[in-house]
Structure 1
Amino acid sequence: MREAVDEALAEPSAGVARVDVDGRVALEAAWGLADRRLEVAMQPCHRIAVASGSKGFTALAVMSLIAQGRLALGTTARSVLGADLPLVAADVTVEHLLSHRSGVGEYLDDDADLAEYLLPGAMSGYVSPEDYLGVLDGREPAFPAGSGFAYCNSGFILLALIAQRASGTPFHDLVRTRVLEPAGMARTDYLRSDALPGDAAIGYIEVDGVWRTTVHHLPVIGGGDGGVYTTAEDMHRFWSALLAGRIVPIQAVREMCRVRSSAEETGEGAGYGLGLWLPAPGVVRLEGMDAGSSFVSTHTISSARTVSVLSTTAHGAWDIAEVLESVTG
């Protein structure tokens, strides 16, 4: 653990690691600076961006609408999109989107250098899921819906758009009221990157040999595929609430935990359900990586063990998470 933290500090990165076992905090640690300009030391209470870890919250907002009868897994995207995004195939369903099996064209290149500017225009222009229609339009399908797995940010932007239109509630408010509040995640929210509160850590990326904040690299408020800031403590609350049926009914949780794509098919060493990675039977995970963020939170149901690592750079979390999962498993 010490070696992994030393390597993270040398990057340099900052972050928080925590292990909970059966309701008891077994380990909690922080390293590095949450704000390099002011030399603010990272603390376990700092809120940190989780990038694609946010997809789990998007999935739960959608599943809550399904439980209420406003949507169904078989609802087609086209029935909600109307004439928007004509290249989204008519047979793409909510289930396809939740499981990354939709084949819709991707708007982000996950293989691109994270230091590149991957979205057109000012990042302040991306607030609502509707603001992404321009970048989603014109993307050719990668494959027929349901015929394969391809991790897809576009699909979760579409889910946010569908949820917003189906509910008549702004997407971020929908997640707050249907996911974060029932889970008791009072320290978790979609925060504006240009107006971060003092308890939010700043993400950094190296550009041309200089470390910069990510304010010009990412949407000012994340959409359905990212944007949540949380704490390691709130992630413990999240898994407890999810598996107790306090966010969506237990039957919906079971659907989310049912493997739709095997580890062999994803190529990521873990299967995938609906908005959740499934590394092994009885194990659930959220993870994410982007400019200024790396995050993993893994929960083992039988032992009520949660391992969460959150970092302010794209690579700071991974080695530490690997060490913690190996020594606490």
Structure 2
Amino acid sequence: MTRDVAALEREIEALAAAGFAGVVRVDVAGTPVLRAAYGLADRARAIPMTVGTRLAIASGAKTLTALAVLSLVDDGVLGLATTARSLLGDDLPLVADDVTVEHLLAHRSGIGDYLDEDTGFDVGDYLMPRPVHELVDTEDYLPILDGHATKFPAGTGFSYCNGGYVLLALLAERASGVGFHELVRQRVTARAGMDDTAYLRSDDLPGDAALGYVDVHGAWRSTVFHLPVRGSGDGGVFTTVDDVHRLWGALLARRIVSDTAVEAMLRPRSDPDEDGLSYGFGLWLDVRTGEAALHGSDAGSSFYGVHDATRRLTWTVVANTIDGARPVHRAIEAWLR
């Protein structure tokens, strides 16, 4: 069908006038039909977004974690049946002995979470139970991963678990002997040609990175006190819309991990939620449409990266507020119907 790109542009411009700040890219049959930036990357200095602006994608980074771990599985450094306990030793004693890498990848480990999204916390609050400037490397997260009781026996249920993906990063480090951020660079972003993707320090952002903003009692504040100074397995990577599109190409061409690993990522491992979404390994899967997606939402960040192989559609929306991306994503979905 013929789609009116100008109509979509007008709709997104209206959303930008109402407050959306971020970057959008839409590809149809492998060709970019929309690639545009809106609003400010830095409100205090009035620095505008550009299509090359790097933005945080929150939990969208879990896909990179899954890929790094599955790359180690491909090489025999880890196995899906490897238990967390075999690498934890005496650390995190509340993690059950039978929790495996596979359970963690699929959010079926049952371990307690340091940021439990089932509790309905407010991201505008200061959530981290440890000073954020102390959270730089994955081993630094051990104290906040500890002390959370098991929710259910491993493999018997699904519960989205941020801490489980930090634990995956920790296991990957210990198994490989390579720091997690470097592991992702070597095994994921370098293989995909994602040169503008990195785990940046929030207190030392380069000029091409957008600040994240959160509404605190009616005033926009940066998220420098809300989030770890440097993210780990559950989030914290900064990227561009073009790099996200490179990720899809590299993933589906099997340039990052094997065909077996890609098939494992695309296999639903949870019952569909109210939106029809199931979870594979590091990817959300729409059981109705066949779309695969990266999603992220946190203080100062919201993100959708979606690929529909059947219709040859790919779109990415990133914003520097927690709710900025969703209405744009919905507008694109409606336009593509």
TM-score for both structures, normalised by structure 2: 0.94
Q: Which residue of 2 aligns with 1:32?
A: 39
Q: 1:14 to 1:51 in 2, by over 3 A?
A: same
Contact 2:116/2:162 (8 A) holds in 1 = no
What CA distance in whole angstroms lies between the structure 2 residues aligned with 1:207 and 1:109?
21
**2:52 equivalent to 1:52:** no
Structure 1 unaligned spans of 5+: none
Measured on the aligned residues, the alpha-carbon RMSD in Å equals 1.3
Matches within 5 A, 1:66-85: 66-85=73-92
What CA distance in whole angstroms lies between the structure 2 residues aligned with 1:285 and 1:175?
19
How far residue 32 of structure 1 moved from its aligned partner, in angstroms, is 0.8
**2:217 equivalent to 1:212:** no
**2:316 equivalent to 1:319:** no
How far residue 20 of structure 1 moved from its aligned partner, in angstroms, is 1.2
Matches within 5 A, 1:167-316: 167-264=176-273, 267-280=274-287, 282-316=290-324
What CA distance in whole angstroms lies between the structure 2 residues aligned with 1:194 and 1:251?
39
Q: Which residue of 2 aligns with 1:150?
A: 159
Contact 2:138/2:166 (8 A) holds in 1 = yes
The one-letter code matched in structure 2 to 1:249 is S
Matches within 5 A, 1:83-162: 83-110=90-117, 111-162=120-171
Contact 2:130/2:144 (8 A) holds in 1 = no
What CA distance in whole angstroms lies between the structure 2 residues aligned with 1:48 and 1:197?
11
Contact 2:116/2:161 (8 A) holds in 1 = no
What CA distance in whole angstroms lies between the structure 2 residues aligned with 1:33 and 1:153?
29
More displaced stretch, 98-107 vs 276-285: 276-285
The one-letter code matched in structure 1 to 2:259 is I
What CA distance in whole angstroms lies between the structure 1 residues aligned with 2:236 and 2:129?
18
How far residue 301 of structure 1 moved from its aligned partner, in angstroms, is 1.2
Contact 1:161/1:171 (8 A) holds in 2 = yes
Contact 1:52/1:288 (8 A) holds in 2 = yes
Deviations 1:6-45 (CA, angstroms, capped at 9, x unpaired):
34543x3410111012321111122111110110111111
How far residue 143 of structure 1 moved from its aligned partner, in angstroms, is 0.7
How far residue 3 of structure 1 moved from its aligned partner, in angstroms, is 4.2
Deviations 1:72-104 (CA, angstroms, capped at 9, x unpaired):
111111111111001101111101000000000
Contact 2:304/2:329 (8 A) holds in 1 = yes
The one-letter code matched in structure 2 to 1:29 is A
Q: 1:315 to 1:8 in 2, by over 3 A?
A: farther
Contact 1:103/1:150 (8 A) holds in 2 = yes
How far residue 137 of structure 1 moved from its aligned partner, in angstroms, is 0.9
How far residue 121 of structure 1 moved from its aligned partner, in angstroms, is 3.2
Contact 1:57/1:179 (8 A) holds in 2 = yes
The one-letter code matched in structure 2 to 1:259 is P
What CA distance in whole angstroms lies between the structure 2 residues aligned with 1:179 and 1:75?
21
Structure 2 unaligned spans of 5+: 1-7
What CA distance in whole angstroms lies between the structure 1 residues aligned with 2:144 and 2:114?
6
More displaced stretch, 188-197 vs 297-306: 297-306
How far residue 120 of structure 1 moved from its aligned partner, in angstroms, is 2.5
Contact 1:51/1:295 (8 A) holds in 2 = yes
How far residue 114 of structure 1 moved from its aligned partner, in angstroms, is 1.0
More displaced stretch, 255-264 vs 57-66: 255-264
Contact 2:22/2:49 (8 A) holds in 1 = yes
SS at match of 2:335: helix
What CA distance in whole angstroms lies between the structure 2 residues aligned with 1:8 and 1:106?
35
The one-letter code matched in structure 2 to 1:293 is S
The one-letter code matched in structure 2 to 1:309 is V
Q: How many residues of Structure 1 are paired with residues of Structure 2 in the alignment?
A: 326
What CA distance in whole angstroms lies between the structure 1 residues aligned with 2:331 and 2:291?
17
Q: Percent of counterpart pairs with the same letter?
A: 55
SS at match of 1:62: helix
What CA distance in whole angstroms lies between the structure 2 residues aligned with 1:212 and 1:171?
29
Deviations 1:205-238 (CA, angstroms, capped at 9, x unpaired):
0111110000000001101000111111111110
Q: Which residue of 2 aligns with 1:23?
A: 30
What CA distance in whole angstroms lies between the structure 1 residues aligned with 2:47 and 2:305?
25
What CA distance in whole angstroms lies between the structure 1 residues aligned with 2:315 and 2:103?
29
The one-letter code matched in structure 1 to 2:301 is S
TM-score for both structures, normalised by structure 1: 0.96
